[in-house]
Amino acid sequence: MESLQRSAISFRRQGSSGYVWDDKFLADQFNKVANERKEESSTSTTTEENKEDPIPIATAAKKSPPPPAGLAIDRSRSNGGRGFRTGKVSPAVEPPSPRVSAFGCCGAFGKREKTRRRPPKSGKRVIGDGITDDSKILQDVWKVACSMSSSPAKIVIPSGNSYLVNPTNLGGPCNSHVTLSISGTIVAPREPEVWDAFDALKWLYFHDVNDLTVEGDGAINGMGQKWWDQSCKRNKSHPCTNAPRAITFHKCNNLKIRDITLVNSQKNHLVFTNCRHVAASRLRVIAPSDSPNTDGVHISESTHVQLKDSTIATGDDCVSIVSNSTRISINNVICGPGHGISIGSLGKSKSSATVHDIVVDGVTMFDTENGVRIKTWQGGSGYAQKIIFRNIKMRNVSNPIIIDQYYCDSSSPCANQTSAVSIDSISFRNIKGTSATEEAITLSCSDSHPCKKLYLDDIELVSLSGTAKSFCWKAYGTSSGLIRPPSCLSSPETIFLPNIKSEPTRVESDDDRASI
């Protein structure tokens, strides 16, 4: 049975809000579907019975492509009697909420079977075996959902199966709010050669979609191992080539992403570019500590972004915030292993960059190569300002507090240059824990553009390898409370006297502190 079509007997009554499901009828149909699937797995030839002619999608969506075979599609029961239902549905799945339309993508039909190692001999297409390409099904369902104008749409990727998806473009604008609910596992092609025919910089690419929600307890697996093996960072004899980002949201406003697990991305796991008003929460991002360039969350040219209640363990920055990003909030995040939380890098190749109004609050870090960091290239321009790092716990963290205006991620030394991204109004407050290096505080600022209005408050960092130290160069500001290791900031009055040697000091005054 390919699909369950709307039928007069599938409804027992019609009320003011539209049709009401006849649960008994549907249960019978679900059992039939489950039995058919069981028979299909035990024989190479299956005879389809009681096959009905497809019924067109409701009038509001007549121009939309019909749903592919094997997909479950639900529409709202509160839509004036225009609801419809088609496709194979698991007996364990209840009818959708009366107020939410739902598209079930790649449905699980009855009891879960063991994953097939090869396509069935019958030649029938298998959805969700992790081997067969399910890209077109996802794209077709997305088009249907995106075209709906009468009510919100929900795409459901069921649990219990893996869905192989090649690089896929999921674009807008959409006519209504779309929710992508992932309970199963989406996997990328394992072999880098497969990507030759695609855009090698993107895997799952969402763009120009407003009011999108991505949620669920499923996983998105980038299958990045072979990409890492051929990276020049892992093997110096290999040429340096680019790799895909797992999920990119571009020009997506009022975006919500929650409860998803992302693992083993080829490069960055989750990227926001040119987005406005983003709420990301309860995410789990996981990759080996030696996997190159696998940033957890990368934010670029975006504003009003909040990341909270998440766990990130990767081979690069847990969170990186780069050019032209503002009003970013990072709350209650566990980071480690990885490279810490970074502002930058900024100003590469003499570019201009601006980052401001950033708050990193309530973060726990362990076994990271850096703690909280601002990194800029020589030769750039612009500024990083009004940034707060506060209430941070660290365990075995190298470089717990670091500003590096001489950042150089190059195989050859970077030339000294006079221009720089300016840094001012930066606060480090209530940061405590253990440092894996003796130098627990490093504030290395530009000769031509010194750091200004730095503020240290209640810092207690103990080195595991000896006495903790601090280092400052052209770093001006104030400190208060307990500062351990002792502050090395130069007082603001000396900023125009570059020939005066900066001595380690502990300043108790609150004057001229960074005000964010």
34 secondary structure, DSSP code: H
Domain residues of the chain, as ranges?
317-516
Residue 240 has pLDDT above 80, yes or no: yes
Choice among 124-128, 219-223, 296-300, 301-305 with the minimum mean pLDDT: 124-128
Query: Can you tell me which residue has the tokens 């394992």?
Result: 190
Provide the strand spans (E) within 362-474.
Answer: 364-366, 372-376, 381-397, 401-404, 422-435, 439-444, 451-463, 469-473
- pLDDT at residue 45 greater than cutoff 50: no
What pTM did the predictor assign? 0.75
Q: Which CATH class is domain 317-516?
A: mainly beta
Span 214-220, average pLDDT: 98
Report, as an integer, the average pLDDT of 51-59: 29
Q: Which two tokens stand for residue 407?
A: 């950042």
Per residue in 80-98, pLDDT (tens digit) is: 333 333 333 333 333 343 3
Quick one: what percent of the chain has pLDDT higher than 90?
63
In terms of Cα–Cα distance, which of 209, 221, 269, 225 is closest to 244?
Answer: 269
Active site residue 339: yes
Percentages helix, strand, coil for the chain, rounded to the nearest 5? 10, 40, 50
pLDDT at 149: 86
Range name among 116-120, 325-329, 440-444 with the lowest pLDDT average: 116-120
Q: What are the tens digits of pLDDT across the range 17-32? A: 322 333 333 334 334 4
Rounded Cα gap, residues 254 and 176, in angstroms: 13
Between the two ends of the chain, the Cα-to-Cα distance in Å is 63
Structure tokens at 102: 């739902």
The token pair at 449 is: 């553009």
Find residue 385's DSSP bridge partners.
Answer: 356, 424
**Tokens linked to 92:** 């364990």
- Residue 505 scores a pLDDT above 90: no
Residue 245 β-bridge partners: 202
Q: Is the pLDDT of residue 499 over 50?
A: no
pLDDT at 339 over 80: yes
- Residue 105's φ and ψ, nearest 5 degrees, are -95, 130
pLDDT at 124: 62
Whole-number pLDDT of residue 32: 44
Is the CB of residue 302 less than 8 Å from the CB of residue 272? Answer: yes
What DSSP element (H or E) covers 137? helix 135-147
- 221-252 residues labelled b (16+ CB within 10 A) or e (exposed): bbbbeebbeebeeeeeeeeeeebbbbbbbbbb
Distance between CA atoms of residues 293 and 231, nearest Å: 9
Non-local CB neighbours of 484 within 8 Å, separated by 6+ positions? 459, 460, 461, 462, 468
Catalytic residue among 177, 298, 339, 449: 339
